[in-house]
C-alpha cells in the first residue's frame, strides 16, 4: 500500500461523519438527505477498497456490490421523492408525518 | 509521489464534501459532490483498484448524480436559495454522533502504523474471475434487486387518477390526445 491503512480509515471516517451530519441536519430537504447517504456509502466503499489493498481482492467485489445496491436505492428513493412531492408539494421531511394506506 | 497525491486528493474530497453538505442549492451541492467523487475515484486507482475507480466515475458521477439532477429539475423546487438552513436545535444529534466518531478518528491517528508491501493493481481479468467464480450467486441476487427497484420505481412514478390535484389528461406526457389508460409507454409494457 502506498499509505498506511490507518490514513485510509481516517479519511473514510471523516467522510462518514460529513455524510452523517448531512443526513441528520438537513431534515428540511429530502434530496440533501439522500446526498448525505451517498457520501456515507462512498466512505464505506473506501474502507472496502482500502481493505482490498491491504489483504486481497474481495473488498473490491464488495465495493462493486455496494455500488449496485446504491443505484437501486437511489432510483427507488428518488421515485419516492417525486411521489411525495406530488402529494404534498414540498420536500421537507417533517411535512410527511402522516400515513395513509 | 503517490503518497503526496493521496493526501492532496483526500483534502479535495473532504473539502468538496463539506461544500456539498453545506450548500443550500441542491444543484450546486451535486456539482461539488461530483468533484469529490472524481477525487475519490483517483484515490481508488491509487489503492490498486482501477476497476472500482472506473465504475465510480461511470456509475456514481455519471449515472446517479445525473439522476439526481434530473429529479431536481423535474421537481420545480421553487427558490431553494430562500430556503432556511437547519437550526442549531437540529444540529445537536449530528454533532453528538460526529463527535463520537471523531473520537474514533483520534484513536486511529494516535495508534500504531501498519505498513505492508505494495500490491500490483488488480486487472479486469482477475477482478471478473473472482467476481463470477466466487460470488456468482451475489451477482444473481443483485440483478434481482435491480429488477425489483425498477418495478418499484415504475409503481411509484405512476400517476394515479385518484389524485385530485392532477388532471388526468397529462398522464401520457408526450401523447396528450390518447386516453390515459391506453396511451403512453406504460401501455406497451
List the CATH number of the domain containing A24.
Answer: 1.10.287.3510
Please tell me whether residues B5 and B56 are part of one structural domain: yes
Q: In this predicted model, what pLDDT tens digit does every residue of A70-101 receive, in sequence order?
A: 999 999 998 888 888 887 777 777 777 776 65
Interface residue A84 vs chain B (CB under 8 A)? no
**Closest chain A C-alpha to B149 CA, distance in angstroms:** 5
pLDDT exceeds 60 at position A27: yes
Q: Do B132 and B182 fall within a single domain? A: no
Containing H/E element for B14?
Answer: helix B2-22
Residues B44 and B107 in one domain: yes
Verify that B94 and B108 share a domain, yes or no: yes
* Cβ-defined contacts of B111-120 (< 8 Å, 24+): B111/A6, B113/A4, B113/A6, B114/A4, B114/A5, B114/A6, B114/A54, B115/A1, B115/A4, B116/A1, B116/A5, B116/A54, B117/A1, B118/A1, B118/A2, B118/B48, B119/A1, B119/A53, B119/B48, B120/B48
Over 70: is that where the pLDDT of B29 sits? Answer: yes
| Chain B partners within 8 Å of A25 (Cβ) | 21, 86, 90-91, 94
The arithmetic mean of pLDDT across residues B107-131, rounded, is 79
Q: At residue B95, does pLDDT exceed 50?
A: yes
pLDDT in tens, B125-184: 888 888 898 898 999 999 999 999 999 988 887 877 655 555 544 444 444 444 545 444
Closest C-alpha to A64, from A51, A45, A83: A45
Is residue B68 located within the same domain as residue B89?
A: yes
Query: Which H helix or E strand runs over B178?
Result: none
| Cβ-proximal residues to A78 (8 Å cutoff; 6+ apart), any chain | A34, B67, B68, B71, B153
Burial B2-39, CB ≥16 within 10 A → b, else e: eeeebeebbebbbebbbbbbbbbebeebbbbbbbbbbb
Q: What percent of chain B has pLDDT over 70?
A: 76
| pLDDT at B86 (0 to 100) | 67
Calpha distance A101→B178 (Å, rounded): 30
pLDDT at A65 over 60: yes
Nearest CA-CA partner of B10 in A40, A57, A3? A3
pLDDT average, residue stretch A12-24:
90
What is residue B42's predicted lDDT score, i.e. its pLDDT? 92
Domain co-membership, B90 together with B7: yes
Task: Look at residue A68 and tell me if it is in a domain.
Answer: yes
For residue B1, pLDDT beyond 90: no
Question: Per-residue b/e over A50-62, b at no fewer than 16 CB within 10 Å?
Answer: bbbbbeebebbbb
Domain with A40 in it: 5-92
ipTM score assigned to the predicted complex: 0.88
**Most A CBs within 10 Å: which of B51, B120, B137, B149, as the mutation test of the A interface?**
B149
Confirm or reject contact between A26 and chain B (CB < 8 A): yes
Q: Is the domain of B170 the same as that of B147?
A: no
| Residue linked to cell 443505484 | A71
Q: Which range of residues forms the domain containing residue B134?
A: 125-157
Q: How many domains does chain B have?
A: 3
Q: A31 touching B, CB under 8 A?
A: yes
B27 and B79 inside one domain: yes
Mean pLDDT of chain A: 86
Amino acid at each position: 500500500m502506498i499509505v498506511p491503512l490507518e490514513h485510509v480509515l481516517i479519511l473514510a471516517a471523516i467522510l462518514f461523519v460529513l455524510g452523517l451530519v448531512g443526513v441528520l441536519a438537513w431534515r428540511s430537504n429530502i434530496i440533501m438527505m439522500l446526498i448525505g447517504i451517498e457520501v456515507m456509502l462512498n466512505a464505506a466503499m473506501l474502507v472496502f477498497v482500502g481493505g482490498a489493498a491491504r489483504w486481497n481482492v474481495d473488498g473490491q467485489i464488495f465495493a462493486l456490490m455496494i455500488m449496485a445496491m446504491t443505484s437501486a436505492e437511489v432510483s427507488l428513493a428518488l421515485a419516492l421523492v417525486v411521489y411525495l412531492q406530488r402529494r404534498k408539494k414540498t420536500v421537507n421531511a417533517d411535512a410527511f408525518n402522516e400515513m395513509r394506506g | 509521489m503517490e503518497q503526496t497525491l493521496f493526501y492532496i486528493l483526500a483534502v479535495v474530497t473532504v473539502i468538496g464534501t463539506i461544500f456539498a453538505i453545506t450548500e443550500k442549492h441542491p444543484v450546486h451541492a451535486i456539482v461539488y459532490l461530483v468533484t469529490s467523487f472524481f477525487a475519490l475515484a483517483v484515490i481508488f486507482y491509487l489503492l490498486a483498484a482501477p476497476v472500482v475507480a472506473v465504475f465510480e466515475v461511470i456509475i456514481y458521477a455519471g449515472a446517479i448524480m445525473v439522476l439526481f439532477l434530473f429529479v431536481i429539475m423535474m421537481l420545480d423546487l421553487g427558490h431553494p436559495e430562500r430556503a432556511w438552513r437547519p437550526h442549531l436545535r437540529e444540529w445537536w444529534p449530528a454533532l453528538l454522533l460526529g463527535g463520537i466518531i471523531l473520537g474514533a478518528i483520534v484513536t486511529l491517528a494516535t495508534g500504531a502504523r501498519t505498513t505492508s508491501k505494495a500490491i500490483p493493481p488488480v486487472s479486469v481479468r482477475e477482478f471478473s474471475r473472482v467476481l463470477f467464480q466466487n460470488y456468482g450467486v451475489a451477482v444473481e441476487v443483485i440483478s434481482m434487486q435491480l429488477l425489483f427497484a425498477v418495478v418499484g420505481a415504475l409503481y411509484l412514478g405512476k400517476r394515479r387518477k385518484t389524485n385530485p390535484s392532477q388532471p388526468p389528461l397529462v398522464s401520457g406526457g408526450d401523447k396528450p390526445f390518447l386516453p390515459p389508460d391506453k396511451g403512453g409507454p406504460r401501455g406497451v409494457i
